[in-house]
Amino acid sequence: MNIVATIAQTLETSAVGEWMRTSLKAMPVIEAIHVLTAAVVFGTILIVDLRLLGVPSTRRAVTRIHEELVRFTWAAFGVSVVTGLLMFAPNATTYFRNTAFALKMLSLLAAGVNMAIFEGRTFRSVTAWDRDVPAPPAARVAGALSILIWAAVIFFARWIGFTKGYDFAVPDDVDLNFAFPPQ
Amino acid sequence: MHAFAEWLQTTPVSVTIQSVTWVIPLLQSIHILMIGVVFISILMIALRVLGRVRADETFSAVWRRFAPWMWCGLVVMAVTGLTLIVGEPIREFTALSFWLKMGLIVAAVTCTIVFARTVKPADGAADPEFSLATKSAVVAALVVWTAIIFLGRAIAYDAAVWGSLSPSA
């Protein structure tokens, strides 16, 4: 935990952290890119998850849908990580202790574990259920869980904005001073 | 308009939306989830026009797969968006980003309806040869929807983004 705290401290005092804190236009642009890439990650994963659940049908091969979309998902996820770090950096030590942020990170971890189990075990037998037959229960459960977990990631992410990094609600018109000691 | 916003903000519905702490974050989260549904549906239709995905399927099949999700997503976005406006009317109405976003949404939805009526082939019909104009139009649509997403986020930072052009500055 100390290592993470040290990383948070380093990020916050870095030139990038300082730039994100002081630049007027950086935060809205970075946040908008984060929303756009989150939409692409969620949207592409949703298409695959729905196909596992047989929605709208099982006619199109799972492997084909997966192969076609996975590059978009990973490219958008990569940009999400970079923009996420840029948003985290200016107040890293505060976000680090924030419940909504912790729940978002746990949800991301859960999404990763769900994906690893699916890709590592269930997906290996895909030739047997690639098209025209329902996916096995394990694949359908993975698809349903994935939709729920990614929705949770987005909900907790939005919730962070309402805490402004602190563990309590801060009204929009209150401008908290993040600097320590207070200036 | 400001007087209307002030009146709206004091109505019981608006006060409830403002005072129950989880309502606005929940509505915004649903709004963002729907951005995912709508933007990806439009992206898939656009990439099919450009021949980059689902080239083995007819365009009408791709349209049938994604258009209902796009329209339903847009309806949910309109409902959550309108509720957010009722909850925070002054914040929205005093933001230049909000009005630019509304203008682009009207333009984008109108163009999508025109696109649906003119370009979409009948079910089972052979694929049309998409003209350069149609291909340019779908690229333009992606740019406009991206701008709408940017403007949506910029509402919270209107004065910082637009400076003296922002009514809230």
Contact across the interface for B32 and A162, Cβ inside 8 Å: no
Report the chain B residue with the minimal C-alpha distance to residue A153: B29
Query: Is A182 within the bounds of a domain?
Result: no
Query: Is A176 within the bounds of a domain?
Result: no
Contact across the interface for B154 and A28, Cβ inside 8 Å: yes
Sorted by sequence, the CB contacts under 8 Å of residue B124 that are 6+ apart come out as B58, B60
Query: Is A15 within the bounds of a domain?
Result: yes
Which of B12, B10, B31, B154 lies closest to B84, judged by CA?
B31
Dist. CA B130–CA A135, nearest whole Å = 35
Residues A141, A142, A143, A149, CA torsion sign: positive
Complex ipTM value = 0.93
- 3-state SS class at B86: helix
Residue B147 near chain A (CB below 8 Å): no
Chain A CB contacts of B160 under 8 Å are: 24-25, 27-28
Q: pLDDT tens digit string along A125-156?
A: 999 999 999 999 999 999 999 999 999 999 99
Query: Is A65 within the bounds of a domain?
Result: yes
Contact across the interface for B53 and A68, Cβ inside 8 Å: yes
Whether A173 shows a pLDDT value over 80: the answer reads no
Query: Is A101 within the bounds of a domain?
Result: yes
Query: Is A177 within the bounds of a domain?
Result: no
Whether A169 shows a pLDDT value over 70: the answer reads no
Question: Shortest CB distance from B149 goes to which of A35, A155, A169?
Answer: A35
Closest CA of chain B from A45, distance in Å: 10
Q: pLDDT tens digit string along A86-105?
A: 999 999 998 988 999 999 99
> Tokens standing for A34?
């984060």
Report the amino acid identity of residue A77: F
- Of residues B15 and A180, more confidence is placed in B15
Q: How many residues does chain A have?
A: 183
Query: Is A171 within the bounds of a domain?
Result: no
Work out how many CB contacts closer than 8 A connect A with B: 80
Whether B127 shows a pLDDT value over 80: the answer reads no
Whether A29 shows a pLDDT value over 80: the answer reads yes
For chain A, report the end-to-end CA distance as a whole number of angstroms: 29
B54-58: long-range pairs with CB below 8 Å, 24+: B54/A68, B57/A60, B58/B121, B58/B124, B58/B125, B58/B126, B58/B127
- What's the domain range around A143? 2-163
Which of B162, B140, B141 lies closest to B151, judged by CA?
B162
Contact across the interface for A151 and B149, Cβ inside 8 Å: no
Residue B86 near chain A (CB below 8 Å): no
Closest CA of chain A from B113, distance in Å: 22
Whether A1 shows a pLDDT value over 90: the answer reads no
pLDDT value at residue B129 = 80
Contact across the interface for B28 and A68, Cβ inside 8 Å: no
Report the amino acid identity of residue A106: L
Q: What percent of chain A has pLDDT over 70?
A: 89
pLDDT value at residue B1 = 80
Number of domains composing chain A? 1
Closest CA of chain B from A118, distance in Å: 22
